[in-house]
Structure 1
Amino acid sequence: MAFPGLQHVAITVSDLQRSTEWYSRLFGADPVLDEDEEGGEFHHTVYALDGGLLFGLHTHQGRESKDRFDEHRTGLDHVGFALNGTAELEQWRDRLDELGISHGGIKKAHYGSGLSFRDPDGIALEFFIAPGT
């Protein structure tokens, strides 16, 4: 039996309105879902990305930790978005510049090339291409 691929990623944010506006600009799309969970435990705002991946923003009705994201703590390190070559990576670098989103520039390594940036809560995100693409 093959191990399944990712279907969705959900991150907890400190300010849902701010993050929804930021991710809508980044994704160039509006959410496909924006509602309270049936039990009232959390609210989720969800985007449908190319390839079928859903990307969700969660708020836990004021019960979130007020800590900023830190990839050095156990848990999420970063979320990587797959690209299909250097030209596309360069286009996203230019798009981040247009949006005023700071980034670390394109970094090349033997395992691939990436462009790292952070969302309003400091959550680490990356555009990434595998070697040879």
Structure 2
Amino acid sequence: MLLSGVDHIACLTHDPARLGDFYRAVFDAEIGSTRSHGQRGEETMTVMRIGPHTELNVFTVPDSDEADRQTPMWHRGRLDHFGLHASSYAAFATIRERLIEHGASDGAINDFGSAYSMFFRDPDGLEGEVLVPKAADGSHPVPGAS
């Protein structure tokens, strides 16, 4: 393959501080400063490092109402949701606990054959998914399930 993963996902918000607090608390994200961005100087950008090679590039655009749009799955436009790769079973279980604590997920775990998955919604309503591959030998039970 010519690619090694996702570099960044760009999204819109009205409140980058609130969003940064959530991603820091749940995913141990590193939140950069909010700085001016764009031609007109009204837009801002905040970089949130969510993995060793992956960022959320979070933009505020005062005259856009796109951050307010919430619609059901498969009707959200070109970007419907994003999937994050947990670094281990233990990380998946920790993230699951934190998502439940923050009211961002009910903690339901899906079995997608080669991976376990759980969905969440961040404070802006953007849907995300956390996945962890199953052990090839089947030795690992459902991570985080009791």
- Normalised by the length of structure 2, the TM-score is 0.73
Contact 1:113–1:128 under 8 Å retained in 2: yes
The SS at the match of 2:31 is coil
Answer whether contact 2:26 2:95 (CA < 8 A) is retained. no
Matched-pair contact (CA < 8 Å) for 1:44–1:56: yes
CA distance in 1, matches of 2:16, 2:90: 32
The corresponding residue for 2:2 is 2
Aligned to 1:58: 59
Deviation string 1:70-127 (CA, Å, 9 cap, x unpaired) is: 4322311211111244333222212223334333411112131111110122211111
2:109 matched to which residue of 1? 106
Structure 1 spans left out of the alignment, 5+ residues: none
Question: Number of residue pairs matched?
Answer: 133
Could you tell me which of 66, 69, 74 is aligned with 1:67?
69
What SS does structure 2 have at the residue aligned with 1:116? strand
1:59 Cα deviation from its structure 2 partner? 1.2
Correspondence 1:53-132 to 2 at 5 A: 53-65=54-66, 66-73=68-75, 74-132=77-135
* 1:69–1:123 CA contact under 8 A, matched in 2: no
- Find the counterpart in structure 1 of residue 141 from structure 2: none
Q: In structure 1, how many angstroms separate the alpha carbons of the residues matched to 2:30 and 2:93?
A: 24
Counterparts in 2 of 1:58 and 1:17: CA distance versus 1, 3 Å: same
Counterpart residue type for residue 118 of structure 1: R
The answer to whether the Cα contact below 8 Å between 2:83 and 2:128 also exists between their aligned partners in 1 is yes
SS of the residue corresponding to residue 23 of structure 1 reads helix
Checking the alignment, whether the CA contact within 8 Å between 2:45 and 2:58 is kept in structure 1 is yes
TM-score, normalised via structure 1 length = 0.79
1:81–1:128 CA contact under 8 A, matched in 2: yes
Cα distance in structure 2, aligned partners of 1:21 and 1:84? 21
